């Protein structure tokens, strides 16, 4: 049976463990929180801090056919890349792709380059507006502004306004696309 080491036991990790089970894979969860939500779904739970690169963690990871990061943490990604390279482990992570997809600004730019419709940015559009951090996952930190004055006030008070997006609010469903693969073979 194929085994996957899922790194991170919150929302993305829970999704990964669930999908691994649906695919018939054995899931080994790694999270420093012994009460991480995915711990209730995985086949085996390893409580480790990836940044410490402990021998116990590395031995646990060696039991998997591949490692799947399921979190958005640059320090953890860097540590996993080092662990995988030093120990000959397979890491299902593309740092270059992540640099684009982890930034709403960069991924929106890519969508526009390929003619894929996306919400327009303030001030090139009418309100209401959605305000969101460029580098956070999903709905984390998202708020709504009704008019341009509200957007300006928010951006003036923001700690790092260059890392925020103010875009037109579009009514309707929201979609997320997940892609997994290797060169020449990708699945959504």
CATH number corresponding to 3-93: 3.40.50.720
Q: Is the pLDDT of residue 61 over 70?
A: yes
Q: Which residue has the higher pLDDT, 178 or 120?
A: 120
CATH architecture of the domain 104-168 equals 2-Layer Sandwich (3.30)
Domain residue ranges of the chain, discontinuous segments joined by + = 3-93, 104-168
The pLDDT tens digits of the residues spanning 81-138 come to: 999 999 999 999 988 888 888 888 888 888 889 998 888 899 999 999 999 888 766 6
The whole model's pTM is what?
A: 0.77
| Paired tokens of 163 | 């890392």
Asked if omega into 128 is within 30° of 0 (cis), the reply is: yes
Q: Are the C-beta atoms of 70 and 27 separated by less than 8 Å?
A: no
As a whole number of angstroms, the distance between CA 171 and CA 144 comes to 13
């Amino acid at each position: 049976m194929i085994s996957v080491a899922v790194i991170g036991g919150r929302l993305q990790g829970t999704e990964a463990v669930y999908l691994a089970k649906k695919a018939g894979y054995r899931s080994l969860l790694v999270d420093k929180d012994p009460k991480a939500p995915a711990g209730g779904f995985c086949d085996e739970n390893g409580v480790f801090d990836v940044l410490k690169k402990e021998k116990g963690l590395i031995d646990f990871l060696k039991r998997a056919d591949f490692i799947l990061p399921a979190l958005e943490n640059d320090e953890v990604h860097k540590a996993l890349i080092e662990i995988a390279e030093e120990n000959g482990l397979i890491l299902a992570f593309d740092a270059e792709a992540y640099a684009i997809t982890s930034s709403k600004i960069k991924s929106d730019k890519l969508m526009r380059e390929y003619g894929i419709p996306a919400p327009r940015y303030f001030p090139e559009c009418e309100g209401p507006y959605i305000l969101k951090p460029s580098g956070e996952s999903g709905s984390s930190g998202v708020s709504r502004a009704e008019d341009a004055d509200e957007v300006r006030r928010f951006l003036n008070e923001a700690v790092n306004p260059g890392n925020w997006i103010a875009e037109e609010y579009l009514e309707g469903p929201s979609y997320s696309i997940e892609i997994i693969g290797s060169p020449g073979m990708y699945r959504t």
